[in-house]
Structure 1
């Protein structure tokens, strides 16, 4: 009995330590996101005092400050914060659910589906930004629906889904290249800006769909966090533990796809954020608890940091997607080498 009591006490102590670590990391990531949001509002061609920024955001009209902060910096900050959060959560869900660090929306072709629809609207139909956004959302949803149907078979297969996703991505990327080759010269710059992922030109009236989607679906996926962890153990194990695997998987896929499709429609496909956020969150917070919230915060911080770097670290300004691509590509190479050494490829 004493041995059992000591073991229980040891386990409970470990759980409390891991929970404290999770809470500490989540709080620090939240504070960092707040600091970066402040930096996005304060920094630019002109650095404004924080008092003037606060007065401007509260509705007071200040010459020069109100336009720069309310029209340019504030929408840009919100777009980066919410899109990064959405990319981070969606990437973590796919990587955890499919038990593969390569299984993120970029690799599986979901963002490519949104991109094809957007490029068609820009280069073929010359539609407004609103129509481009709606089409990109529909394109992402159709892509994941086709992937799920093709991978379903007699039973759901993770390997089949990943292979089908990679194949669809290759096909869609080829379609994007073709559209850029045959499109009118004047349409190519707009399409490339969208494809690179950028916060430039973010407008406050375009952000409510993204913000509402993130606010609605984040609590849903957090509530499903325990079931998501069970799915990581495998189909049979999750079912034996009482998880309704098909229902849970569909809810998680729909929630994450809606978030990433609307985020992509708002900012374009910001490269590697969904790929990096989950592994970084797991490394920081540990893997004892669901890291959906830390992954979202990591994604938001990555986008905000990358945008600040793209704006101020170089002689020329670069879109945020180029900076995240530079950050993510080395990690992808490292991950592939490590998985190959372990025999996982």
Structure 2
């Protein structure tokens, strides 16, 4: 009976992933029709094939769509690993402060380096901020015994600290605060092929760690005593999952800004649709994250034409009520 159930679950997961992938493709094509010059779907397809609209499509609109797909997928997987590490369905890179520290690093790099250095200074600041936040999180959490609750609470406190530091710096240097706030809200506006290549290379470099983390993710659901009895170090397992989550989150935040709510939404939707097995949940979370961010970017452009609302704000409008729903749901459990 069990052998019959597993193929059924695998078939369901494959079907869900296929449907979500088709939706991503549809939204990607629609997203490339919108801009200062409105294109038809036929013109977009012609541009992709190298036709008359190739310059507009390939240089301006395709990079934006591709970055939203890659960053959304990365944040979805990052949230999955973080929830597995902390055994907490309310955990996400944003909730435990990782995206806020990454944003703080980018914010400081953008403010205190010359504009000509921004192409490398901001990504470096993001990575430095995310790694610094994760190191402090693990160090302080370890001093409290390394428990799951301690890690989660320390993460929330560190996120609040990073947010306060950003606001303090904005008061000190108000001349560049407005520009930085747009980036911190999360936006794929202005993405270029350089961003596509940089984010792609970063995610390819992270891929081996993602595969290893996926294999180990199911074990994260066990208690520490059970893990020890199986010969697995709880601290090493959970710390490793957090590190991979930080790496994925850093690359995404460097490309699109702070959009940590995707790390909360995507794993929950994936768990609901395909179950909690890691081999099903990780690819589903990636696809749902990509769909959510690309759809948020499309909605943000449609509702405010000829202007646009940053995709991070649209995602937060969706994620805020969903977080409240999850809190109520968790509070109602015995």
TM superposition score normalised by structure 1: 0.88
User: Which is further off, 233-242 or 66-75?
Assistant: 233-242
Contact 1:227 1:243 in 2 (8 A): no
How many angstroms apart in 2 are the aligned matches of 1:120 and 1:257?
19
Corresponding position of 1:164: 154
Corresponding position of 1:191: 180
2:221 to 213, 226, 232: 232
Corresponding position of 2:192: 203
Contact 1:196 1:271 in 2 (8 A): no
- 1:142-181 to structure 2, matched below 5 A, reads 142-153=132-143, 155-181=145-171
Contact 2:81 2:213 in 1 (8 A): no
Show structure 2 runs of 5+ residues with no match. none
Which is higher, the Rg of structure 1 or of structure 2? 1
Contact 1:222 1:292 in 2 (8 A): no
User: Which is further off, 65-74 or 46-55?
Assistant: 46-55
How many angstroms apart in 2 are the aligned matches of 1:113 and 1:242?
34
Deviation at 1:247, TM superposition (A): 4.2
How many angstroms apart in 1 are the aligned matches of 2:99 and 2:63?
22
Contact 2:85 2:237 in 1 (8 A): no
Deviation at 1:162, TM superposition (A): 0.9
Corresponding position of 1:3: none
1:307 to 294, 297, 302: 297
- 1:125-140 to structure 2, matched below 5 A, reads 125-127=113-115, 128-130=117-119, 131-140=121-130
How many angstroms apart in 1 are the aligned matches of 2:150 and 2:111?
33
Corresponding position of 2:59: 71
Corresponding position of 1:331: 322
User: Which is further off, 29-38 or 83-92?
Assistant: 29-38
Residue aligned with 1:102, SS = coil
1:95 to 70, 80, 83: 83
C-alpha change, 1:154 and 1:123, in structure 2 (3 Å) is closer
TM superposition score normalised by structure 2: 0.91
How many angstroms apart in 2 are the aligned matches of 1:115 and 1:288?
31
